[in-house]
Amino acid sequence: MFENFQRWVALRKLEQQSRKNDDGTISFSNAVSRISEILMCLPWDYREFRVARYVLKSLDQEDVDHRITFVAPEEYRNLIPRRKHDRILTINGTGRDHLGRFTSDFVERVLDHEYQAAADFNTEFDFGTSLLCRRSDAPIRIGFAFEYARVFYNIEIRKPEDKFLLEGAYRSVQRMLAIESVKD
pLDDT-based confidence at residue 1 (cuts at 50, 70, 90): low
Stated pTM of the model: 0.82
CA angle 65, 90, 163 (to 5 degrees): 80
Model pLDDT, residue 30: 47
pLDDT digit string, tens, across residues 32-65: 556 889 999 999 999 999 999 999 888 877 777 8
| CA atoms of 72 and 86, how far apart (whole Å) | 13
Mean predicted confidence (pLDDT) in 90-113 = 91
